[in-house]
Structure 1
Amino acid sequence: MAVRVGAAAVMLGATAAVVPGQAAAAGEASGRPGPYAFADGAQSVEGARSTGDAAALKPGGAYKSSLPSSGKVSYRLELDAASNAYVSVTAVPSPGSTVSVIDGIKVSVQDAEGNTCSVDTASFGASRSPHPIAAWGRRETGRPLCQKAGAYFVTVERVDPEGEGSSPDTWDLELVALTEPRTAKAGATTAPEVWNSATPQPLQGESERRKGGAGFTRATPLDQGVWRDDIRPGQTLFYEVPVDWGQQVSVTADLGSSGSGVTGYTSDALHLALYNPARGQVADVGVGYDGGQKSGSLPPLPPVDHANRYAAAAQVSALRFAGSHYLVAHLAEDVADTFGDGPFALTLRVRVSGEPRGGPEYAGESEPKGVFEVSDQDREAAAQGVATGDDTAMRALAVGGIGTGSAVLVGLGVWTVVARRRNAA
C-alpha cells in the first residue's frame, strides 16, 4: 500500500480520528447502516455491452463501475502466458432495492476465442436481504484451456433480474484484478488428500471489542481471538484475518438475544462468509434467528496449500494462497421488522491453527505486490486491530486528542505497520 505523505501531515495536527470501522458507523447516527466503502482512488470504468468495446482492467488496480438490471457488461484483461489472473466483482445493490432468493451476479472469464475459463455466481439467499456480494473470475495457466497470452474478457450479469421480488435497479460494482506468478519449480498437481477435518471447538475466552469495516479495503484486522461487535439489520461488516501457508482457519459467529421479548423467526438472518485474498468465496454459513441467542460455524476447512487449487471441491480449491482472508458478516433487513433496529451483539470466535510454513517459490512478483503472503506487519496489524486499508490507520492516531509530539512518535511506529504491500486489493 502506498502511504500518502498527506496522511502524516493530517495526523500531526488532528485532534479527532477516523477509527477502524468508522466508515461503517457513519450512517448509524440515525439507526441506519452506513454505505459500502469503495476503495480510495478506484478508477471509474464503464462496462461494455460488446467485448469489442471492453475497457481494460490493469492487474493491481481497483475500479468502480455499474451493472444494469438486464444484459451483460464486459471488461478486458491483457495477460501473459505465465501468470494466473483473478478478477473479483463486488456488487452493491442500490438502497431500497428488493431481490429474489436466487438473484445475484454471475462472473465469467473467456479468452479471445470464446473459450470459457471460469464461471462463478453469488446470490442473496433465503433472507432476500440486499447487501454487497462478491464473485470471482479466474484464468489459470495450469488448465487445458486459456493458456495463451493475449486478451481475456470478464463478463458480469444479473442472475435473476426478473425474478419474483427483484427490482430493476442499477447496481454499483467494485472490481479488482490480481495476478499470481508461476512457481519457479514444478510442484504437486493434486490436492492433499489427508488433513485434519475434525470439527474444531469454538474458541473460548473473554471477548475484545473490534469494529468491523464497511468494505473489503476497510476490513478490520483480526488475529486469533474472541471479538465482539454490534451489527444492525441490513448492515454488512468486513474483517480480515492473516492466514499463512499450512495454517487452518475456523470461525464461529454468535448472535446475541434481542431482549425485546418479541417472538418470530427470520430465516438466514445472519450470514457469515469467508473469502480468500483474491476475494473468492471459500465457505459460508447462515444462522436463523428467533430472538434468542444463536450460533453458527463455518465448515471444517483444510490448511492453506498451493496444491489445493487442484481440488474438485470449491471450498478447498479456494484456499490456494496465503494472505489476508476476509470475513464478511451480514444481518438481514427483515430482522428489524420483528425484533427492532438493534444493534445486536455479534461475537466472532476466530481460530488460526498450525505453524506457518514456507510456501511455493514464485518466479516473479504478484500484482499487487505481496498480496499472497503474510508479513510481520500483517500480523502486527491483526494483533493491534489497526485498519491498513489506504491511510485509515494513520488518521486513527489522532483519537483522544493525542498531542503533536506524541503523534509523531506513535506515527513513526505505526508507519511501519501500515506500509504494507497492497494497493487496490
Structure 2
Amino acid sequence: MAVRLGVVGVVLGATAAVVPGRAALAVAGASGAAVTPSPYAFADGARSIEGARSTADAVILKPGTAYKSSLPSSGKVNYSIELDAASNAYVSVTAAPSPDSTVSVIDGLRVSMQDAEGNSCFVDTASFGAARSPHPIAAWGIREISPAKPLCRKAGTYYVSVERVDPEGEGSSPDAWDLELLATTEPRTAKTGATGAPEVWDSASPQPLQGEAERRRGGAGFAGATPLDQGVWRDDIRPGQTVFYEVPVDWGRQLHVTAELGSTDSGGTGYTPGALDLALYNPARGHVADVSVGYDGDQKSGSLPPLPPVDHANRNAAIGQVSAMRFAGSYYLVAHLAESVADSFGDGPFKMTLRVRVSGAAKSGPEYAGESQPAGVFEVSDQEREAAAEGVAGGDDTAMRAIAVGGIGTGSALLVGLGVWTVVARRRNAA
C-alpha cells in the first residue's frame, strides 16, 4: 500500500526515500499550490505480467498479490487462477486509460470467469458514464461455491478474460489501457449459512450527516485509498481527476454516502452531464453502486442508493448492489470529476464534500473455516478503525501532522513515521 506520511525537516528526506514524491505532494497541497491530477497509482510492488491471447498461455494469478498488466484496444487477454473446491474467489480488474485518451458513451471494461470446461461462472462490465471522461473503472469475476450454482464448483484451473466493451465505438481511441489485477479468496464458513438474503432491512435514506467538514485528501488508487470514518469530509478535485477513499464497515453496519460539488466562482456557464461520479466498491473491489451528478456551476449533490447492512447472507440476493454487500472490511469510495467540466467552468480546483454515515450496531460475522487471501481482508481491525478516525493517510491532515513533529529528532520521528506506516500499510502490504 502506498504510504503518504509527509514529515517536515530532516525526516522529509528519509520518508521520501521510502515513498518518492508523496511527502512533497502533501506539503504542496497544504501550502495551497496547484497540484496536477495524478494518474492511477498502482500498488507498490505490483508484479508486471502480460495477458495471454490464448487461455493455454495464461499467467497464473496468486491470491493476495497485485499485478500490473495492459489491455489492447481489441480482443481478449486471459489470466488463470488455481482454486480448491471450497473457497469463493474474486478477481478484480481495474482499467486505467490514459487521461488524454478518448472513450465512447458505451465503452468500458468486461471481465468474465470460466472453468476449465468453458462454463461461464460470472460476467461483469463497467463503463465511464455519460460524461465520456476517461478514468479508472473496475469490474470483477467471481467463482462462488453455492448450492444454487451447480457449475464452477470443482477444484482446478479457472480463467479470467478481460476485454473492452466498445473498442471501435465513435469517439474511442485505440490506446492500450493499463490494468491492475487483484485476486482474493474467501474460505467457506464453518457452519452452513442462510440460503436466502435477509428480507427486512431499513431501506429509508437518512438525512445526510451534518457538521463542519474536515479536510482529507483522497488517494490516487485502491492501494493508496485515504481512510475515512463517519463524518463530513472536504477535498479539492480537478477536472479529469479521480480520488480514492476507504471506509471500514463491520458486519451488521449500514453505509450511507452523499457527495456534493460546490458552486464555482469562475463565472462560466453551461451544463456537464455526469460531471461528478461517485462509485462504491466492496473489500474485494467489486462494484456495489454509484451515483452521477450533473453540474451547471451551482451547488449540486447526489446520494448512493440505499444499501443493506453488511451481511454474509446478502450474497443470496438477486439484486447486485445488495449481493455485493456480502462481507465486512474496507469499502472504497471512488470519485471522479469529468474533464469536460473545465470547458465551461475552468480548471478549478472544485470543492467536493462527502457526507459519510455508518449506522447500526456491529455484530459478529460468520466463523470462517480458514484464512482469506489477503489475510484479514474481510474483517475490520482496531488499526483500521484508528486509521479511519485519525486520517493517517490524508493529504492536508498528514502535512499538519508532519509540521507537528518537525522538531522531533530524526530517530524519534522516523520511529513515529514507521509506526504510522504500519497502521496504514496493514494487511494489504501482501499486495
Q: Shared fold (TM-score greater than 0.5)?
A: yes
- 1:146 and 2:152 are equivalent in the alignment: yes
Unaligned runs of 5+ in 1: none
1:40 and 1:30 mapped to 2: Cα distance?
Answer: 25
Question: How many Å apart are 1:326 and its aligned residue?
Answer: 0.2
AA of the residue aligned to 1:128:
R
The partner residue of 1:105 within 103, 109, 121 is 109
CA contact 1:273–1:328 (8 Å) conserved in 2: yes
3-state DSSP class of the match of 2:234?
Answer: strand
3-state DSSP class of the match of 2:420?
Answer: helix
CA contact 1:64–1:173 (8 Å) conserved in 2: yes
The partner residue of 1:351 within 347, 357, 363 is 357
Corresponding residue number in structure 2 for 1:63: 67
The partner residue of 1:304 within 289, 307, 310 is 310
1:256 and 1:37 mapped to 2: Cα distance?
Answer: 26
AA of the residue aligned to 1:14:
A
- 1:223 and 2:229 are equivalent in the alignment: yes
Question: How many Å apart are 1:410 and its aligned residue?
Answer: 2.8
CA contact 1:56–1:76 (8 Å) conserved in 2: yes
1:284 and 1:25 mapped to 2: Cα distance?
Answer: 28
Corresponding residue number in structure 2 for 1:80: 84
1:327 and 1:21 mapped to 2: Cα distance?
Answer: 21
Corresponding residue number in structure 1 for 2:100: 96
Corresponding residue number in structure 1 for 2:385: 379
The two structures, once aligned, show a CA RMSD in angstroms of 2.7
Question: How many Å apart are 1:417 and its aligned residue?
Answer: 2.5
CA contact 1:84–1:139 (8 Å) conserved in 2: yes
- 1:161 and 2:167 are equivalent in the alignment: yes
- 1:14 and 2:14 are equivalent in the alignment: yes
Corresponding residue number in structure 1 for 2:320: 314
Percent identity over the alignment is 80
3-state DSSP class of the match of 1:285?
Answer: strand
Counting only pairs closer than 5 Å after superposition, residues 224-373 of structure 1 correspond to structure 2 as 224-373=230-379
1:325 and 1:199 mapped to 2: Cα distance?
Answer: 19
AA of the residue aligned to 2:429:
N
1:334 and 1:35 mapped to 2: Cα distance?
Answer: 17
CA contact 2:12–2:23 (8 Å) conserved in 1: no
Corresponding residue number in structure 1 for 2:44: 40
CA deviation string 1:74-122 (max 9, x = no partner): 0000100010000000001123110011101100000000000000000
CA deviation string 1:379-412 (max 9, x = no partner): 0000111239xxx99x979974643254155346
1:107 and 1:23 mapped to 2: Cα distance?
Answer: 39
- 1:51 and 2:21 are equivalent in the alignment: no
Q: How many residues align?
A: 415
3-state DSSP class of the match of 1:14?
Answer: helix
3-state DSSP class of the match of 2:123?
Answer: strand
Alpha-carbon spacing, 1:331–1:399, altered in 2? closer, same or farther (3 Å): farther
Corresponding residue number in structure 1 for 2:203: 197
CA deviation string 1:286-335 (max 9, x = no partner): 00000011011001110000000010000000000000000000000000
2:403 and 2:313 mapped to 1: Cα distance?
Answer: 41
CA deviation string 1:4-59 (max 9, x = no partner): xxx9xx95973878359859979x97763111100111001100000011011001
AA of the residue aligned to 2:279:
A
> TM-score normalised to the size of structure 2?
0.90
CA contact 1:24–1:214 (8 Å) conserved in 2: no
1:24 and 1:95 mapped to 2: Cα distance?
Answer: 22
1:29 and 1:107 mapped to 2: Cα distance?
Answer: 39
AA of the residue aligned to 1:218:
G
1:102 and 1:396 mapped to 2: Cα distance?
Answer: 44
CA contact 1:20–1:387 (8 Å) conserved in 2: no
Question: How many Å apart are 1:355 and its aligned residue?
Answer: 1.4
1:231 and 1:150 mapped to 2: Cα distance?
Answer: 45
Question: How many Å apart are 1:204 and its aligned residue?
Answer: 0.2
CA contact 1:251–1:350 (8 Å) conserved in 2: yes
Unaligned runs of 5+ in 2: none
1:220 and 1:316 mapped to 2: Cα distance?
Answer: 25
- 1:120 and 2:133 are equivalent in the alignment: no
